[in-house]
Structure 1
Amino acid sequence: MGVIADVIAAKLTAAFSPTRLEVVDDSDRHHGHAGHREGGESHFNLLIEAEAFAGKARVARQRLIFQALAEEMAGPVHALSIIAKAPGEA
């Protein structure tokens, strides 16, 4: 993983203690699109499973993640695709 992906993983781990966390740099697929940077780490796919999401709607889960990653979303990260689940959800 790159530096930004590592920061994303560290912040999400600290905020949510996930049972599963996958941070995938998807920047290569967005070459020539808005927000793309040479060197990547501008577009990410995120899969996170954490007890903190139990009983929360999808939008509420995403808001919690965006709050935890506010600095990255304001700077180097242009796009973040999120799948956020509670343990045991399909």
Structure 2
Amino acid sequence: MTVKTRIEDKLNAAFEPERLIVLNESSHHAGHQPDMTGEGETHMRVRIVSPAFTKLTRVARHRAITDLLKLEFDAGLHALAIEAAAPGEPTRW
């Protein structure tokens, strides 16, 4: 199972999102560090709209997501960009 699929599965189960997009942006970070070739799944972006975020601050939303994905970071995920919104909030995507 890919990192992207594991992230999608965990986010779907935990937050029951109305919209969810997980993007692999690893290729944009080639050379970021000596061992980063741009291949693999080291840099991901999460775009998520969920009712679970309705009363949470931006920081609390990010913490909830990063806490959920701790094992992915432990397994080699280097960076995660998060765009989290509650239903009805504007998004840029």
Give TM-score scaled by structure 1 length: 0.91
Cross-structure match for 2:75? 75
Q: Distance in 2 between matches of 1:37 and 1:14?
A: 32
Gaps of 5+ in 2: none
Q: Distance in 2 between matches of 1:19 and 1:68?
A: 18
Give TM-score scaled by structure 2 length: 0.88
Gaps of 5+ in 1: none
Cross-structure match for 2:59? 59
Amino acid at match of 1:50: S
Cross-structure match for 2:20? 21
Q: Distance in 1 between matches of 2:36 and 2:59?
A: 25
Q: Secondary structure at the match of 1:18?
A: coil
Identity fraction in percent: 42
Cross-structure match for 2:11? 12
The alpha-carbon deviation at position 86 of structure 1 amounts to: 0.3
Report how many residues are paired: 89
Q: Where do 4+ consecutive residues of structure 1 move more than 4 Å? A: none
